[in-house]
């Protein structure tokens, strides 16, 4: 996903007021209490609303609900990721990582369980930590000795105001395209068998080793590799069919799985 600005976290007003009116109506229709309960503070209410928002999107797959969740929960997640980055990973951008985290939220929303008020934060926090750990590991492996002998100080390529405005519009268009693309992925994922879905979740979302996956699923290593190969192949074929394009025009799903 492209980088989009995130508003600051607000704790001085009722969190529900930040949500669009249609989203609030859909939440109320599901029985969500938008007001502060006697045993809650504002932060607890915000966490509960985040959980109910993701459950709403999981069940109804309305893109407006996902956009509302991103705007509502993104700032808090960005602050959390920024704290994880302190102490060395200065080249990583917290907002970029939020975007990539929400890509995985979108793709694997079917596995979300809204059992507690803070279920969203626990679930998305695990996704974000795995992502940060992987990106920091990738950063550490990059060799600083790869610069050429004639390396010079970089030129300031930051865009001016006009280009920055154009970039925001381009980012919005790309984000819309991403949502459409991920919608096709989610539909294809839902058509897989239960074992295939669980295998993909274990490997790509929980980042478990193939050895761990074999133990959980009760299969051998060669069988596990075949399950993953066939699951990714089926998703790719079904995405191509739903988009009306040749299967060769769909990027390999194994590569997509590491986009976030």
- CATH numbers and ranges of domains, the chain: 15-141 (1.10.1740.10), 191-256 (1.10.10)
Residue that is written with structure tokens 């970089």 in the block: 154
- The pLDDT score that the predictor gives to residue 11 is 44
- The pLDDT score that the predictor gives to residue 138 is 76
pLDDT digits (tens, 9 = 90+) for 100-120: 899 889 888 888 999 999 999
- Look up residue 145 and give its two tokens: 């000795």
- The pLDDT score that the predictor gives to residue 227 is 92
Residue that is written with structure tokens 């930590």 in the block: 129
Is it the case that residue 142 has pLDDT exceeding 70?
no
- The pLDDT score that the predictor gives to residue 31 is 94
**For residues 185 and 149, which has the higher predicted lDDT (pLDDT)?**
185
Residue whose C-alpha is closest to residue 53's, from 20, 5, 75 = 20
Is it the case that residue 97 has pLDDT exceeding 70?
yes
Q: If you ran DSSP here, which 8-state letter would residue 11 be given?
A: -
* Pair 112, 119: CB distance under 8 Å: yes
- The pLDDT score that the predictor gives to residue 73 is 93
Q: Which value, in Å, is the radius of gyration of the alpha carbons in the chain?
A: 20
Is it the case that residue 258 has pLDDT exceeding 60?
no
Is it the case that residue 137 has pLDDT exceeding 70?
yes
Instruction: Tell me the pTM.
Output: 0.59
* Pair 113, 58: CB distance under 8 Å: no
**For residues 224 and 155, which has the higher predicted lDDT (pLDDT)?**
224
- Look up residue 13 and give its two tokens: 């007003």
CA 185, CA 221: separation in Å to the nearest integer? 26
Average pLDDT over residues 41-67: 93
Average pLDDT over residues 164-176: 65
**Per-residue pLDDT band at 1 (split at 50, 70, 90):** very low
Average pLDDT over residues 161-169: 59
**Per-residue pLDDT band at 255 (split at 50, 70, 90):** very low
Say how many CA atoms lie within 13 Å of 159 toward its Cβ. Answer: 8
| CB-neighbour burial class of residue 5 (10 A; exposed 0-12, middle 13-18, buried 19+) | exposed
| CB neighbour list of residue 54: distance below 8 Å, 6 or more residues apart | 69, 105, 109, 112, 114, 120
Average pLDDT over residues 189-216: 88
Mean per-residue pLDDT over the chain, rounded:
80
Q: 61: alpha, beta or left, given left = phi > 0 and alpha = psi -120 to 50?
A: left
Dihedral pair phi/psi, residue 30, rounded to 5°: -90, 0
**Per-residue pLDDT band at 3 (split at 50, 70, 90):** very low
- The pLDDT score that the predictor gives to residue 29 is 95
């Amino acid at each position: 996903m492209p980088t989009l600005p995130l508003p600051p976290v607000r704790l001085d007003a009722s969190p529900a007021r930040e949500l669009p009116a249609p989203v609030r109506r859909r939440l109320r229709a599901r029985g969500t209490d938008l007001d502060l309960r006697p045993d809650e503070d504002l932060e607890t209410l915000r966490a509960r609303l985040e959980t109910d928002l993701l459950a709403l999107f999981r069940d109804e797959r309305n893109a407006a609900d996902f956009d509302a969740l991103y705007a509502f929960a993104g700032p808090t997640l960005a602050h959390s990721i920024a704290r994880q980055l302190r102490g060395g990973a200065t080249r990583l951008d917290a907002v970029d990582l939020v975007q990539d985290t929400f890509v995985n939220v979108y793709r694997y929303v079917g596995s979300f369980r809204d059992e507690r008020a803070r279920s969203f934060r626990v679930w998305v926090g695990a996704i974000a930590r795995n992502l940060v750990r992987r990106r920091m590991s990738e950063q550490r492996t990059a060799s600083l000795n790869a610069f050429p002998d004639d390396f010079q100080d970089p030129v300031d390529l930051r865009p001016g105001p006009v280009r920055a405005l154009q970039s925001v519009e381009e980012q919005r268009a790309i984000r819309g395209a991403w949502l459409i693309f991920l919608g096709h992925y989610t539909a294809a994922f839902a058509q897989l068998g239960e074992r295939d879905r669980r295998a993909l979740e274990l490997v790509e979302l929980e980042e478990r080793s193939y050895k761990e996956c074999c133990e959980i699923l009760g299969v051998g290593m060669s069988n596990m590799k075949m399950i993953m190969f066939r699951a990714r192949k089926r998703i790719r074929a079904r995405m191509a069919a739903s988009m009306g394009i040749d299967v060769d025009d769909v990027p390999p799903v194994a590569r997509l799985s590491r986009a976030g």
